[in-house]
């Protein structure tokens, strides 16, 4: 029973899950976020503009679902935080230390703050335009550019790009 | 100014192909003239290239998630089929139809009888057995807690159930409403919004989540339904701590 819309949703699952993981860094929560995203996408199907890229639309739904989840869980006192700090054991303390090198760029991304991770994912990995990323994250394009530039500089330091 | 300043953002935008012709030309000239600009340009280019290269190793989607999604799409496909042939046409905007996806219907008990039915009596004897599902809202202790406890707080009731107060709202008629979550000992959980009516708190919506997942999230879709209900009732914005305190202070004195 798969029309093109459902097919597109299915195809985007891995990308959605990767973006979800970059936000919450927890596999189970990432799965839940992806599921919520698909549910909302199906219900809001009529609001999708067929002239735009479906992934940008889906990422936006996912990001909003994450914000809702954090809001809900903050009042319940569990440990999700939109403005979380890097929490990779052992690497965190040295995150700013240029001598600590990462072999994997993706691993290095994990040490960056959320607002930098998400924009890196959207632009450099998912290849969204600055304007599309601005729309997904609901911030001005200038903010996308400054976050992205800071993220890329930090990343370059951490993987040893001169 | 005879020359655009070569900010990091501008150099990066060039690396990402985001610049128009004339701006791009300026960056190219600057890079040719200034090794520092060229170095930055290389950094921006290389970070993007290496990310893209690693991006091909997508972490796999678990079978569990794939099946959950497949079921939702199936249910959705059947709904569409029943109504129209248009599901063959991709991306065709449909007129808005309000419906609950079947997955959601299964996970929710919408307590439609609430407005006329259960009132949260402010006092009285506790029920003999811990009630389950939406009936749990008849627990008389809930009312007292809603009149006093601030959002973010939780308390354990005599029945052993936990009551978490999630947020407070003021509707258009200045009626105080409170969103809370009631977790029975057996893991049954009800998320509800109750509004002040006289001395009582009257539940306006209640969503019972299944007992299969104690201590975890309510089914994703049910929280979604709650959000939708809140915003359609003009209750999108929770009160601040101070406003909530004021609102609680004005409630009828304890009996």
**Can you say how many angstroms the Cα of residue B36 is from the centroid of all Cα atoms in its chain?**
46
pLDDT at residue B138, rounded to an integer:
73
Instruction: Say whether pLDDT at B164 is over 50.
Output: yes
Q: Which of A79, A71, A138 is nearest to B238 (CA)?
A: A71
B64 or B211, greater pLDDT: B64
Give the Cα separation of A29 and A52 in Å (integer).
28
- Which B residues 56-115 touch A at CB under 8 Å? 58-62, 64-66, 68-70, 72-74, 76-78, 80-81, 87-96, 101, 103-104
Count of Cβ atoms closer than 10 Å to residue A90 Cβ: 7
Measure B201 CA to nearest chain A CA, in Å.
21
Across residues B177-193, what is the average pLDDT? 78
Provide, as residue numbers in chain B, all residues whose Cβ is less than 8 Å from the Cβ of A127.
52
Optimal mutation site among B217, B223, B231, interface A, most CBs of chain A within 10 A: B217
> Which of the 8 DSSP states describes residue B27?
H
Cβ <8 Å between A123 and B223: no
Provide, as residue numbers in chain B, all residues whose Cβ is less than 8 Å from the Cβ of A104.
54
Between CA A10 and CA A118, with CA A61 as vertex, the angle to 5 degrees is 95
- The alpha-helical segments, DSSP class H, found in chain B are 8-15, 21-33, 35-55, 63-83, 102-107, 141-148, 220-232, 241-249
- In b/e form, how buried is each residue of A92-106, taking b as 16+ CB within 10 angstroms? eeebeeeebebeebb
- Which A residues 1-40 touch B at CB under 8 Å? 1-6, 8-10, 13-15, 17-18, 21, 27, 31-32, 34-36, 38-40
Residue A89's Cβ-count burial label (10 Å; 0-12, 13-18, 19+) is exposed
By three-state DSSP, how is residue B96 classified? coil
Count of Cβ atoms closer than 10 Å to residue B21 Cβ: 7
Instruction: Say whether pLDDT at A116 is over 90.
Output: yes
Cβ within 8 Å of residue B141, ≥6 positions away: B126, B157, B158, B159, B163
Picking from B58, B68, B74, the nearest residue to A1 by CB comes out as: B74
Q: Which of B234, B148, B169, B159 is nearest to B190 (CA)?
A: B159
Provide, as residue numbers in chain B, all residues whose Cβ is less than 8 Å from the Cβ of A58.
none
Across residues A13-34, what is the average pLDDT? 90
pLDDT in tens, B89-137: 333 232 222 233 333 333 344 443 343 344 454 444 444 344 445 666 7
Specify whether the CB–CB gap between B46 and B70 falls below 8 A.
Answer: no
The tally of CA atoms less than 13 A away on the side-chain side of residue B106 is 6
Picking from A14, A39, A77, the nearest residue to B58 by CB comes out as: A14
Cβ <8 Å between B61 and A13: yes
Provide, as residue numbers in chain B, all residues whose Cβ is less than 8 Å from the Cβ of A2.
73, 77
Specify whether the CB–CB gap between A58 and A12 falls below 8 A.
Answer: yes
pLDDT at residue A31, rounded to an integer:
92
Q: Where are the beta strands (DSSP E) in B154-238?
A: 154-156, 162-170, 176-183, 189-197, 200-209
pLDDT at residue A77, rounded to an integer:
44
Count of Cβ atoms closer than 10 Å to residue B156 Cβ: 12
Q: What is the ipTM of this complex?
A: 0.79
pTM: 0.54
Cβ contacts from A onto B, under 8 A: 161
Give the Cα separation of B246 and B255 in Å (integer).
19
pLDDT at residue B224, rounded to an integer:
65
């Amino acid at each position: 029973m798969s029309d093109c819309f459902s097919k597109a949703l299915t195809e985007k699952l891995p990308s959605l899950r990767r973006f979800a993981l970059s936000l919450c860094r927890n596999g189970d929560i990432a799965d839940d976020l992806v599921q919520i995203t698909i549910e909302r996408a199906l219900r809001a199907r009529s609001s999708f503009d067929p002239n735009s890229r479906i992934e940008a639309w889906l990422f936006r739904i996912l990001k909003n679902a994450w914000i809702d989840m954090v809001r809900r869980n903050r009042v319940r006192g569990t440990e999700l935080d939109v403005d979380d700090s890097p929490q990779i054991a052992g690497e965190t303390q040295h995150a700013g230390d240029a001598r600590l090198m990462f072999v994997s760029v993706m691993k290095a991304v994990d040490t960056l703050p959320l607002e930098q991770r998400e924009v890196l994912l959207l632009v450099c990995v998912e290849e969204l335009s600055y304007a599309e990323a601005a729309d997904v994250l609901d911030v001005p394009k200038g903010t996308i550019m400054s976050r992205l530039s800071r993220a890329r500089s930090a990343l370059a330091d951490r993987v040893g790009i001169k | 100014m005879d020359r655009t300043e070569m900010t990091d953002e501008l150099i990066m935008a060039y690396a990402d192909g985001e610049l128009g012709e004339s701006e791009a030309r300026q960056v190219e000239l600057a890079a040719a003239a200034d090794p520092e600009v060229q170095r930055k340009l290389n950094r921006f280019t290389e970070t993007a290239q290496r990310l893209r290269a690693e991006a091909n190793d997508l972490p796999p989607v678990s079978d569990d998630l794939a099946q959950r999604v497949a079921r939702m799409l199936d249910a959705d496909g059947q709904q569409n089929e029943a109504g129209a042939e248009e599901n063959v046409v991709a991306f065709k905007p449909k007129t808005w139809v309000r419906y609950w996806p079947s997955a959601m219907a299964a996970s929710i008990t919408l307590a439609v009888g609430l407005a006329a039915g259960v009132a949260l009596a402010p006092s009285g004897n506790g029920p003999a057995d811990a009630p389950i599902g939406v009936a749990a809202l008849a627990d008389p202790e809930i009312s007292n807690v809603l009149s006093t406890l601030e959002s973010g707080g939780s308390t354990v009731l005599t029945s052993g159930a936990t009551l978490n107060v999630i947020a407070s709202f003021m509707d258009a008629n200045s009626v105080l409403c409170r969103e809370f979550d009631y977790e029975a000992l057996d893991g049954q959980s009800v998320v509800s919004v109750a509004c002040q009516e006289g001395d009582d708190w009257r539940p306006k919506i209640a969503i019972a989540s299944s007992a299969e997942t104690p201590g975890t999230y309510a089914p994703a879709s049910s929280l979604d339904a709650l959000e939708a209900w809140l915003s359609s009732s003009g209750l999108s914005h929770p009160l601040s701590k101070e406003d909530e305190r004021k609102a609680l202070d004005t409630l009828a004195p304890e009996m």
